[in-house]
Structure 1
Amino acid sequence: MWLSRIPVRKIIKRTALAVAAVQAATIGTLLVVDHRRKRNRAPAVFPRVPARSVTAGTSEVTVYTYGEDLFYDMLGAIRQAKHRIFFETYIWKGDAVGQSFKQALIDAADRGVDVYVAFDEFANLVVPRSFFHFPDNVKVQRHPLVGGGYRFLHPRYSGRDHRKLLVVDDDAAFLGGYNIGSLYATDWRDTHARLTGDIVWDVQNAFIDYWNLSANKHRIPDRGSLHWQPTIRLHRNIPRHFVYPIRGMYLEAIDRAAHHVYLTHAYLIPDEDMLRALIQAARRGVDVRIIVPAESNHIVADWLSRGYYSQLLRGGIRLFLYQGAMVHAKTATIDGQWSTIGTANIDRLSLTGNYEINMEVFDRDVARQMEHIFEVDLSNTIELTLEKWHARHAMVKFSETVLTPLRPLL
Structure 2
Amino acid sequence: MWLAAVVAIVASLMVTTKIRTLFRGRRGGRLTTTPPAAVTVGGDSTITTYTSGRDLFADMLAAIDGAQERVLFESFIVKGDEVGQKFKAALIAAADRGVDVRVVYDGFANLVVRPSFFRFPPRVRVLRFPVLAGRWQIFNPRRYGRDHRKILVVDDTAAFVGGYNIGSEYETQWRDTHLKIEGSAVWDLDNAFVDFWNLNEARPRLADHGSPSWDPHVRAHRNVPRQLVFPVRGMYLEAIDRATDHIYLTAAYFIPDHDILRALLDARRRGVEIRILMPEVSNHVVADWLSRGFYGRMLDAGVRIFLYQDAMVHAKTATIDGRWCTVGTANIDRLSLTGNYEINMEIHDADLAAHLERVFEHDLTQARELTREEWSSRWVVVKICEALLRPLRPLL
Tell me the TM-score normalised to structure 2 length.
0.98
How far 1:37 moved relative to its partner? 2.1
Partner residue in 1 for 2:170: 184
How far 1:365 moved relative to its partner? 0.5
Q: Does 1:248 align with 2:234?
A: yes
Note the 1:187-226 alignment, pairs <5 A. Answer: 187-226=173-212
Q: Does 1:53 align with 2:38?
A: yes
Partner residue in 1 for 2:379: 393
> Partners of 1:153 and 1:375 in 2: how far apart?
46
Note the 1:4-403 alignment, pairs <5 A. Answer: 18-42=1-25, 43-57=28-42, 58-403=44-389
Amino acid at match of 1:394: V
Any stretches of 5+ residues in structure 1 without a counterpart? 1-17
Larger radius of gyration: 1
Tell me the TM-score normalised to structure 1 length.
0.95
- Give secondary structure in 2 for the equivalent of 1:124: coil
Q: 1:276 to 1:148 in 2, by over 3 A?
A: farther
Report sequence identity in percent. Answer: 58
> Partners of 2:194 and 2:63 in 1: how far apart?
19
Any stretches of 5+ residues in structure 2 without a counterpart? none
> Partners of 1:236 and 1:198 in 2: how far apart?
18
How far 1:388 moved relative to its partner? 0.6
> Partners of 1:149 and 1:370 in 2: how far apart?
45
Q: Is the 8 A contact 2:163 2:178 kept in 1?
A: yes
> Partners of 2:31 and 2:123 in 1: how far apart?
41
Partner residue in 2 for 1:6: none
> Partners of 1:61 and 1:231 in 2: how far apart?
12
How far 1:40 moved relative to its partner? 2.2
- Give secondary structure in 2 for the equivalent of 1:88: strand
How far 1:180 moved relative to its partner? 0.1
> Partners of 1:121 and 1:216 in 2: how far apart?
15
How far 1:317 moved relative to its partner? 0.7
Q: Is the 8 A contact 2:127 2:202 kept in 1?
A: no
How far 1:148 moved relative to its partner? 4.3
Amino acid at match of 1:51: P
Amino acid at match of 2:384: F
Give CA deviations for 1:228-258 in whole Å, capped at 9, x if unaligned.
1111000000000000000000000000000
Give CA deviations for 1:274-311 in whole Å, capped at 9, x if unaligned.
00001111111000000000110111110011111111
> Partners of 1:216 and 1:347 in 2: how far apart?
29
> Partners of 2:220 and 2:238 in 1: how far apart?
15
Q: How many residues align?
A: 393
How far 1:34 moved relative to its partner? 2.1
Q: 1:149 to 1:41 in 2, by over 3 A?
A: farther
